[in-house]
Chains A and B, each alone.
Chain A
Amino acid sequence: MFYKRREEYNEVIIPYQGEGITVRPQELAGMGGNEAVAYAAKQANVDVVAAYPITPQTIMVERFSEYVANGEVDTEFVCVESEHSAMSACVGASVTGARVMTSTASQGLALMHEVLYVASSLRCPIVMMVANRALSAPINIHGDHSDMMGSRDCGWIQIYVENPQEAYDWTLQALKIAEDPEISLPASVNLDGFTVSHAMEDLNLLSDGQVKEFLPPRKPVFKVEPENPNTVGAFAMPDYYYEVKRLQEEAMRKVPEVLVKVTKEYEKTSQRKYGIIETFDMDDAETAILSMGSTAGTVRSVVRQLREKGRKVGAVKLWLYRPFPSEELTSAICDLKALAVIDRAMSFGAPYGPLCSDVASILQDCESKPKIFNAMCGLGGRDISSDDIRIMFDEADQIARTGVVRDRIKFVGVRE
């Protein structure tokens, strides 16, 4: 149970004996998710940040601009005229071997869409914070996952975080994973709009020295430099294009292994343990809910309440959404009787929402297949209450008892 162990860490901050250094107890600071990412970017000594403001990501850009204006970082901040140019400038900067970050949300991510593919195909390890927000129309500034799901197949590593602490920790870890020479792929760190991007929490921060040690300057696999002329982004016809894509997929498949290595290293420094997925009370669970992002906290809280009443329920949270953690997930869910999969994005006309579609596609790897249903909720920032989560567990229990799935997609918390 990762979460319990992490709680223990938080209670007792143990001075950690690293390689030749003694780390003092970590600094505590009140920060929102946006600020946490900006602070991580500052500590990571990012070379170039190119970004454009959009709610609910603006605070990240504002804080970072302040660091630049006050001379606290040595970063080139390119305050571009659109998200399309933000990602384009990031690609231009990244191919030189520089460490590059950006952030966006919603329409901004949609505007970047075609450039996201260039970033992954040119193997640019850019790290981007996405403050997940609903897509227009109707225009709405609040959280759901429709923005990143719209770019689901863009070849980026995709990480979803639950709270500002995770946003900070994963930003640092994402840089290291993305820049690993075996990977060299861009990564998005997804924060639920407002719920995580604006939530103020006490954060445990690493010292600048710890970050410097964990995250040394980027060592690029290749770089564009006048001394060694090369052509980047050449025209590939049917005789070569397919191989490029195949290689990209190979790199993507190496991510879980590198991610585990990086999280272990990070644990040594931070005393906070991360991984591919997080399970909670799953050992003897008969029904469970799978979620990503901030909803996971609500789910755990309901699991605790239901466990007190003797119900065998559990929770699974994905940190890593792309590449999809098929193996880790099947080992967590195969023995369940029923599973509710929460989606915060629609895939109109599809059998399920995006996350549930992925889960459905790996069930063939389970010997005893659990029944699944898709719990659609939280669109456009609609609150996901404990009652909503209880409704999902009740539905899952009913399915476990009867073996009948009444609705593939259950729309929870909507006016019908």
Chain B
Amino acid sequence: MVALRELSTEELYAPGHRLCAGCGPSISMRMMTKAFRGPTVITNATGCVEVSTTIYPYTAWRVPWVHSLFENTAATASGLEAAYKVLQRKGYRKTKVDIIAVGGDGGTFDIGIQALSGALERGHDFVYVCYDNEAYMNTGIQRSGATPTGAATTTSPAGKVIPGKQERKKNLAAICAAHDIEYVATASIGFPGDYIDKMKRAIEVEGPAVVHVFAPCPLGWRSNPADSIKLAKLGVQTCMFPLYEIINGKYKLTMKIGKPIPVSEYMKLQGRFRHLFKPEFQSRIEMIQQQVNNDWNRLLERCGEKTQATTG
């Protein structure tokens, strides 16, 4: 794993952007740029990172950066990749350009999934990075396909009858891997070495690769901005967001969790789960724990690891 001291001190993602204190996605972007190996162009979906890093006439990007729309980032990346390829073939460009597509969970799990699927199927040489803060935070914390069960958002509020989001989180990594691409990985800003390693591997792949990075949002999660890294670690340690790679369809666990921390330890630090701690909804936490246990064991099986009897 790459050590922090080995990382480039060059900041391609400049300070002075307008993202919140403790913003997970912002940290994920800075770490992402540390993995770049050469000429790189980023294309970014509409979202927190996009609006807060490029308020004209300022920009936080010291690499070329293109924003088009919300749901078309993978398609924009397809065009960029195709163009640089042909410009190089025709002799207008000498060096290869690495294309990085960046989208939030809304732009990836929901509105952008068709364009992503198309681009993965066509086999463009690019890396898709989904920074996942588990809701539409830019528009004011609305539920997405990435919002976990039980979380309250402004469109899945903690009501008297319905306590937060009732549905499950989509399995993005499995969806991407189902396209038979070479590399899919999950990562967390709580483990930067692991994340940057995975980014580097993804860039090395000739063809599409996907990195799904867990990035807490203090505003949307109603958590202490100082706890963002702690939560990014707890998400992994509770097995709610396990870290693994899928290389040519083969699952590989990249962070073993001997004794998972109970999900309630993670949830109690976040206002979005506060309602579940009321007596009438406490059984929901057990349900979620059971769900996490099942998912974790299924993942362990896929990774060829021994399943664990109980957790939490």
Contacts and interface: CB of A to CB of B under 8 A. Distances in A.
Interface of A: 47-48, 50, 74-76, 78-82, 84-86, 88-98, 100, 114-115, 118, 122, 217, 224-237, 240
16 contacts: A47-B86, A75-B86, A76-B82, A93-B82, A115-B68, A115-B69, A225-B64, A226-B97, A230-B64, A230-B65, A233-B54, A233-B67, A234-B55, A235-B51, A235-B54, A235-B67
B84 interface: yes
A78 B78 contact: yes
Contacts of A74: 86, 89-90
Contacts of A232: 64-67
Contacts of B86: 47-48, 74-76, 98
A217 B95 CA distance: 20
Contacts of B79: 48, 50, 78, 88-94, 100
Contact of B72 (A75, A76, A85, A227): A85
Interface string B67-87: 111011011111111111111
Given A48-B86, A96-B87, A240 B118 contact: no
Contact of B114 (A81, A229, A234): A81
B7 to A, nearest CB: 20
3 closest A-B pairs by CB: A92-B79, A81-B118, A226-B39
B117 interface: yes
A142 to B, nearest CB: 28
B168 interface: no
B121 interface: yes
Contacts of B115: 81-82, 84-85, 88
A114 to B, nearest CB: 6
Given A92-B79, A92-B80, A225-B93, 17 more contacts: A48-B79, A48-B83, A74-B90, A75-B86, A76-B86, A78-B79, A80-B122, A84-B71, A96-B80, A97-B87, A100-B79, A225-B64, A229-B62, A229-B64, A231-B61, A233-B68, A236-B56
Contacts of A234: 54-57, 59, 67
B133 interface: no
B80 A231 contact: no
B43 interface: yes
A88 B55 contact: no
A98 B87 contact: yes
Nearest to A81: B118
A89 B82 contact: yes
B40 interface: yes
Contacts of A237: 55-56
B69 A118 contact: yes
Nearest to B84: A96
Interface of B: 38-41, 43, 50-51, 54-57, 59, 61-69, 71-72, 74-87, 89-90, 92-93, 95, 97, 114-115, 117-119, 121-122
B129 to A, nearest CB: 16
B36 to A, nearest CB: 10
Which of B57, B87, B89 has most A Cβ within 10 Å? Answer: B87
Contact of A93 (B38, B61, B63, B83): B83
A231 B72 contact: no
B83 A226 contact: no
B310 to A, nearest CB: 43
B75 A85 contact: yes
Which of A75, A96, A224 has most B Cβ within 10 Å? Answer: A96
B75 A92 contact: yes
A80 B64 contact: no
A235 B39 contact: no
Given A82-B114, A118-B68, A98 B55 contact: no
B66 A88 contact: no
Contacts of B75: 80, 84-86, 88-89, 92
A78 B265 CA distance: 48
A277 B63 CA distance: 45
Contacts of B121: 81
Contacts of A79: 122
B51 A88 contact: no
B67 A92 contact: no
A357 B62 CA distance: 48
Nearest to B43: A92
B205 to A, nearest CB: 19
A243 to B, nearest CB: 10
A62 to B, nearest CB: 18
A233 B66 contact: yes
Contacts of B65: 229-232
Contacts of A98: 83, 86-87
Given A85-B72, A224-B64, A50 B82 contact: yes
